[in-house]
Structures are given as C-alpha cells and as structure tokens.
Structure 1
C-alpha cells in the first residue's frame, strides 16, 4: 500500500520503519528533519509537501501526541480534502472523543474513511511490532487495513464501528495506568519510610500479585528512580487523564480518583517533571512524605 505517515516521533518512527520493511511505500512527515532522515535511511520516503503524498495515498496514518497537533497536521493543512476517494485515515494517537467525532464527520464529507486505532505499548513494543491495537471504525475499512495492523501489533482489539469507542477504551486504559503509577508511588514511599528497599519491594509485588507489564515497567522505573529518557512523558499522562475526565463528564460517569490523579500530575508539572517519564509521578508522593 501507499502510506502517508504523519508523526515520526518515539513511537511513530519505528512503526513507519516496520511498514517499510513489510514492503509498503511509506512517505513520512515530521517537524524533525533528523527523524525523516532516519526513515529515508530505512527505505522510506519524505516530501516537502503533503499534497502529492496525501492525494496518492491509499492510507494516511497519524501518530501525533495530542488534539492540537493532530488538528494542525490533518485538518488545518487540508490533508483530508486532498485524499483520494475512499482513502482511509488511521489515527493511532490518543485524542479526545470530540476530535474523533469531528474527524469522522470530515472524512465522511470528503468520501473517505476514518478509523481510530490508538495503541498500548511502549517504544520497545513498537520496534518489534508487538503493540496492542485498539481499533474502531467501519468493518470494511478495518478489513482493508488489517494487514497493516498485523505488521504493527501482536493483537487487534475491536471496540465497535464508532471510532470514538476505541478512543474511550484507550483513555480508560491510560486512566488505569496513571492510577497504578500513583498508587505504586505511594506504596514504595510507605515501604521506604520503614527502611524497606524500594527495589526489593517492587521486585516482590511485580513478581506476585501485580505481575503485569504496566506494573513491571513503571514499578521498576519508580524503584530505581529511572525517569529519563522518557518512554511516555508525564505531561502526556496528564493530558490523557483530563481527556478521560472530559469523556466521563459528557455521559455522567463519576471518576472519583481522577481529580486526585490530575492534581498529582499538576504537582509534578509544577516541579518541572513534565518531560520526564510518566513514572516520575511517584516523586509527588515522595515529596508529600518529605522523602524527596
């Protein structure tokens, strides 16, 4: 397939490279010239203009960090209007329900298809094509792009025909991850207050009652205070918590822990930790206990 790929960041670049390796023609776009050079070195293409690449693409994939960046790259740039009849846009970033609905409508107006397919997994999973892909959209569009998902992920999870359903599932999952990080931060702070090694404690819980990737990866980072380079920035964690709160408010679903979680993130941002790994949220708990 001919693919126009927007967003060659920490996650997007290895995803785009895997698609090139699978035999697809991938033209990448990113504000970082260095990232586009890395795609070209792997056999991909780049262009100074979105117009020819978008108009000739069978599929557009966007892997961008937030609503504003996605809107600028896909909507304000005019990419949607340039797409060929029946082309498919796969948005693999984590965006709001509102933007997902807007993109669905805009693509429909231009006789295209929109699929939401945010992912679970860090950069190491992206590099080896082992992401979990949360997908929602029209059944025929999902069938067409299934071969691309099989390159990028270890499993495809279908959540319905409305793209925003996949976005809500991702936001709910990230809300759980953020809650787990905050809880682990408080737990290791309690253990440390009694002279228990953070590393030993986290080895225990992640080998027994919380033997799961999110707990292992973030828990070990918390115990070792290993927050750089970031696999997923703390500031993006706050963005996702706020998006989950917004989605919940729309349908009158109380998220009682979300306000506390949001404020813990704001505490971290106030201390200049927004560009650190999400695990750095644990520092807020340490500060409250006088251990920082």
Structure 2
C-alpha cells in the first residue's frame, strides 16, 4: 500500500482510526509512505503498524513533477530490512535511484527535510544574486549563464534557477505553503538536536513574507521574485495580479 500525503495530520488521518490503513490492511502488508513528513510521525506510525503485525517503510521523494513523470526521481528508503526488501522492487520502477537510509523510518524523512532546506537556501541565494546583477547593470541571462556554466552547475541551480531567471512561478511544482511546512519541520528537528540553522531560519521567514503577500499558489522558487521586488526591480507583466 502506497500513500503520498501533504503533511503529518493528513498521513495520520489516513493511517489511524476506525477506517484507517492500519485497520483495513492485512497482517504482513506493508505501508510505503512517500510523504514529506516529520521523523516523529514516521516513527509513530511505524510503531502502530508493527503492533498490528504490519510494516511501515518511509520512502520520501527528491525531484519535481517533471522528473516524476519521467520516472527520474530519487527515493530515500528506510524501515525494517524485510519490509524494505519487499518494497524496493516496486519503488525502483518509479525512479532512477534508491538511497537506503537504514532501519529507522525517521531517517528517510530527516534526509528529505535536509535536502529541501538546501534547495530553499539555494533559491534564496540565487534570487538575491540575480537581483544584485540586474541592479548592477548585468542582464540576468548573462549572469545565469556565467554562474550555471562554471562553478554552480548543479541540477538545483539550473532547474530552479531557471524558474527565477524566466519568472516561471506558475504552475507550481512545490507551492509555498508546502515548502514553508518543510522548513518548519526541519527547524523543529534542528531545535531538538540543538543544531543552529540561521540561514534556514531566514529563508523560513522569507517564505512567511511570501504568504503575507498572498503568493501561496506560487512555486517556492518565487523566493527570487521576493528578492527582485525588495530590490525595486520590475517583474514580468504576467505577474501583475500579484502586486
């Protein structure tokens, strides 16, 4: 049984209760959750499934909708070895690589949250940098070419940075509220682990600012739009309804 839900509450609602998965699944069945949720809820649900003679495997996904359609996403998989072994043959047909994260399902979700922090902070950095170049008289296209064809040629810089360059914030691959949820979950884990994450905290606040502007339907790469607006730069006329 596979599930893909937006947050802890939704996953808990579908899994627990009189009509939840734990009730309807047979003994020996395995629940594979591809949701981006907290490590805490992953461990909680894993324990409930285990008490019911079932399995729980956390398998969050790295990649955007286009990669998902092409089966090019990456999976971080964790759970008891026997349950992971039964789930992997199915999971491997859905993406290009599986990273085995051990027997603690919370580790798969922590890894996903950490990855999303890196993406979000990269988006903030690229947005600020491209705004600086535009204000300094260098075209965003030229700056983007120099950056992404030299030292900053990663998939994140090119794919998400391309959205900032061309101001393609709709339709969203990851809407701002979901990105904000992931930053909040990551920072909660950081607080529990006494791990300061000042840049992540800043980007979380930038996302709150986006929500305050009514940008909840935009892609999280609209961090670049926020940077350009803060710099007093003009935006694509197609985005005029946002201002």
Same fold (TM over 0.5): yes
Deviation at 1:107, TM superposition (A): 0.5
Deviation at 1:203, TM superposition (A): 2.2
Per-residue CA distance 1:119-172 (angstroms, 9 max, x = gap): 101111111211110011111111111111111111100111000000000000
Per-residue CA distance 1:252-285 (angstroms, 9 max, x = gap): 1111212111110011111111211111111221
Task: Give yes or no for the alignment of 1:71 onto 2:12.
Answer: yes
CA contact (8 A) 2:63 2:73 kept: yes
| Equivalent runs, 1:254-269 vs 2, <5 Å | 254-269=196-211
Q: Which residue of 2 aligns with 1:169?
A: 111
Task: Give yes or no for the alignment of 1:211 onto 2:136.
Answer: no
Deviation at 1:228, TM superposition (A): 0.6
Q: Which residue of 2 aligns with 1:54?
A: none
CA contact (8 A) 1:268 1:283 kept: no
Task: Give yes or no for the alignment of 1:274 onto 2:237.
Answer: no
Per-residue CA distance 1:26-45 (angstroms, 9 max, x = gap): xxxxxxxxxxxxxxxxxxxx
Residue 28 of structure 2: SS of its match in structure 1? coil
* Aligned residues between the structures: 233
Q: Please give the alpha-carbon distance, in whole angstroms, between the structure 1 residues aligned to 2:20 and 2:182.
A: 26
Task: Give yes or no for the alignment of 1:245 onto 2:193.
Answer: no
Q: Please give the alpha-carbon distance, in whole angstroms, between the structure 1 residues aligned to 2:175 and 2:145.
A: 24
Q: Which residue of 1 aligns with 2:62?
A: 120
CA contact (8 A) 2:77 2:101 kept: yes
Residue of 10, 25, 28 corresponding to 1:83: 25
Q: Please give the alpha-carbon distance, in whole angstroms, between the structure 2 residues aligned to 1:181 and 1:149.
A: 29
Residue of 151, 162, 165 corresponding to 1:220: 162
Residue 74 of structure 2: SS of its match in structure 1? strand
Query: Higher relative contact order at CA 8 Å, sep ≥6: structure 1 or structure 2?
Result: 2
Q: Please give the alpha-carbon distance, in whole angstroms, between the structure 2 residues aligned to 1:142 and 1:79.
A: 18
Q: Which residue of 2 aligns with 1:148?
A: 90
The alignment yields a C-alpha RMSD, in angstroms, of 1.2
Which structure 2 segments of 5+ residues have no match?
A: 235-243
Residue of 191, 196, 204 corresponding to 2:133: 191
CA contact (8 A) 2:169 2:219 kept: yes
CA contact (8 A) 1:238 1:265 kept: yes
Q: Please give the alpha-carbon distance, in whole angstroms, between the structure 2 residues aligned to 1:248 and 1:150.
A: 30
Residue of 143, 147, 150 corresponding to 1:201: 143
Which structure 1 segments of 5+ residues have no match?
A: 1-59
Task: Give yes or no for the alignment of 1:96 onto 2:38.
Answer: yes
Q: Please give the alpha-carbon distance, in whole angstroms, between the structure 1 residues aligned to 2:229 and 2:16.
A: 42
Q: Please give the alpha-carbon distance, in whole angstroms, between the structure 2 residues aligned to 1:243 and 1:71.
A: 16
Deviation at 1:65, TM superposition (A): 1.3
